[in-house]
Amino acid sequence: MDWLKRLHATSIVAAPQFDTGDEIRVWFKILERGKERLGQFEGIVIRCRGAGPSKTFTVRRVTYGEGVERVFPLDAKVVSRIEVLRRGRVKRSRLYFLRTAVGKRRIAQAEPTTQAAAATPQGTAAATEPSARPTPGA
């Protein structure tokens, strides 16, 4: 078993921390006619499973009205890098409902943890904008 850990420990990509519901971009190597190029697959993570060398994640995107899913092993040499584009806040570990209800459900965006967002009071934005309601009797 030690040889298996040594074998997989060398090929694990330094992946950022991501979870189900996040929108990510996966850069992977494509071998064509003896040449190697990088392709990208961008979508929502609908599943993460496994641990250690057998960890995989499934990414889903909709292209030309057709849903496309791809399963990536986290420690594969084919995966070059992973970028987290947007964090999603979900209550489930498997987002299979996105397969059938394409446009009906949205994934809420996780709260940004920036100091600028926390520093601005919420009441100042409402006080500066004019009211859209008509005045009574007008």
CATH of the domain at 28: 2.30.30.790
Rounded CA-CA distance 81/79 in Å is 6
Q: Which domain holds residue 17?
A: 2-101
Task: State the pTM of this model.
Answer: 0.66
Q: Tell whether the model's pLDDT for residue 138 goes beyond 60.
A: no
What single-letter DSSP state applies at residue 18?
Answer: -
Q: How confident is the model at residue 98 (pLDDT cuts 50, 70, 90)?
A: confident
Location of structure tokens 């609908």: 46
Identify whether 120 is part of a domain: no
Domain count, the chain: 1
Q: Record the tokens describing residue 124, joined without a space.
A: 């100042």
Identify whether 128 is part of a domain: no
Identify whether 14 is part of a domain: yes
What average pLDDT does range 18-41 have in this prediction?
93
Query: pLDDT above 90 covers what percent of the chain?
Result: 35
Q: Tell whether the model's pLDDT for residue 22 goes beyond 60.
A: yes
Identify whether 130 is part of a domain: no
**Residue 94: what residue type?**
R
Cβ distance 26 to 79 under 8 Å? yes
Identify whether 138 is part of a domain: no
Q: How confident is the model at residue 120 (pLDDT cuts 50, 70, 90)?
A: very low
Identify whether 17 is part of a domain: yes
Rounded CA-CA distance 80/25 in Å is 11
Per DSSP, the three-state class of 6 is: helix
Rounded CA-CA distance 20/67 in Å is 17
